[in-house]
Structure 1
């Protein structure tokens, strides 16, 4: 696996309300949610595995917006689509996704409207296209777990 990159977590819920830190109480409609994040720090794409473990064990206190969903019992981890890059490209991917989104979620360090998007059907292929549209090669963790 490449050391650094950008990833899109795919989560699913049957619908719920979650208190998301500074964003307060948010109603999440049933469906899939795409969270766009970057892994450019020292741990790189190991962050994807941290999110996956966090969602499975639900045993830590939430720190970031996405953590509140990962630990919530009504959210299930589905997959991760990622790409290898040492550049900040998460906003470009988020721009390509658009559509229904949760305002101000996961984007406190940029000018995007959101980094969390809602879909009614599984968005793996849509995410792959969004990554390809910015000239990157997408990989799904479920298909290519080469860690």
Structure 2
């Protein structure tokens, strides 16, 4: 199985208050989100497939912070960016816009957050692609 670093591109159709596990309830604005994670274990990018299944309502178990956002009816995954065989999760997350939820997806590192927010999906997609490219070249 091939794994590496991935970023999900998520559209949130309206502002929501979402309970995010141990992070508690947070008000998140409508717009576009980029969640960066790693899929370096034996399952590789099958973790990304699991995120799509959860967002589609095919799974209900919540393991990670992103599961709480994806489990909301207003959230839809609109694509992803993957960099195979690269452990660049924190570098990509650091290159993206700020997050409305401190600590999101960053419980095992010192990053502020692995969730970014933007109002423009096209611009966010471009920023994510550039962050993956730049981090993999370092």
Common fold by TM > 0.5: yes
Q: Give the structure 2 partner of residue 64 of structure 1.
A: 64
TM-score (norm 2): 0.90
Aligned residues: 134
2:124 matched to 1:128? Answer: no
Question: Runs of 4 or more off by more than 4 Å in structure 1?
Answer: none
Partner Cα distance (2:92, 2:130) in 1 = 9
Q: Give the structure 1 partner of residue 118 of structure 2.
A: 119
Say what the alpha-carbon RMSD is for the aligned residues.
Answer: 1.5
- Give the CA deviation at 1:26: 0.5
Between Structure 1 and Structure 2, the one with more helix by share is 2
* Structure 1 residues 90-129: aligned runs within 5 Å: 90-122=89-121, 123-129=124-130
- Helix, strand or coil for the counterpart of 2:38? strand
- Helix, strand or coil for the counterpart of 1:105? coil
Structure 1 runs not aligned, ≥5 long: 137-147
TM-score (norm 1): 0.85
Question: Contact 2:97 / 2:118 at 8 angstroms: preserved in 1?
Answer: no
Q: Give the structure 1 partner of residue 87 of structure 2.
A: 88
Question: Contact 1:58 / 1:70 at 8 angstroms: preserved in 2?
Answer: no
